Amino acid sequence: MLEIIRQVPVEYYVLYSAILFTIGVMGVLIRRNAIVVLMCIELMLNAVNLLLAAFSTYLSDSKGQLMVFFIMVVAAAEAAVGLGILIMIYRNTKSTDISLLDKLRN
């Protein structure tokens, strides 16, 4: 278990993170519920985190893991503010459907 980076090529981690990131992008594109869209953004951030951790182990450098901590902090702040905005949207429109929010288009 200690030498996984020798057994799994780091390219596999790149591919794996790309797949997870793409699933997050797909969720943002095809879902209309704003909460699920926020969750897909969390998934994209996690794909990037995983890649940073993989390269951190590959290069034996702790800086990548510290970057992951900062991304987690930003994700937590983003979730708190995003959900606050979402509750205000729900109060005004009685829905979390993001396709209702097209007032700027007209």
Partner 1 sequence: MDFYIFLTLAVISVITALLMVFARNPVHSVLYLILTFFAIAGQYVMLNAQFLAVVHIIVYAGAIMVLFLFVLMLLNLNKDSEPQKSNLWKISGAITSGMLLVVMVGALRNQIQLPAAAEYQPDRGLPAVLGRMLFDTEFVVPFEITGILFLAAMVGAVLVGKREIKV
Of the pair 70, 103, the CB lying nearest partner 1 is at 70
CB-count exposure of residue 54 (10 Å: 0-12, 13-18, 19+):
buried
Least Å from the CB of residue 103 to partner 1: 17
Binding mask 50-69 for partner 1 (x = CB under 8 A): x--xx-xxxxxxxx-xx-xx
Q: At what angle do helices 34-58 and 10-30 cross, to 10 degrees?
A: 170
Q: Does 41 bind partner 1 (CB under 8 A)?
A: no
Least Å from the CB of residue 105 to partner 1: 16
Least Å from the CB of residue 106 to partner 1: 20
Residues in the chain: 106
Single-letter amino acid code for the residue at 91: R
Q: Does 48 bind partner 1 (CB under 8 A)?
A: no
Output the furthest CA–CA distance in the chain (Å, rounded): 58
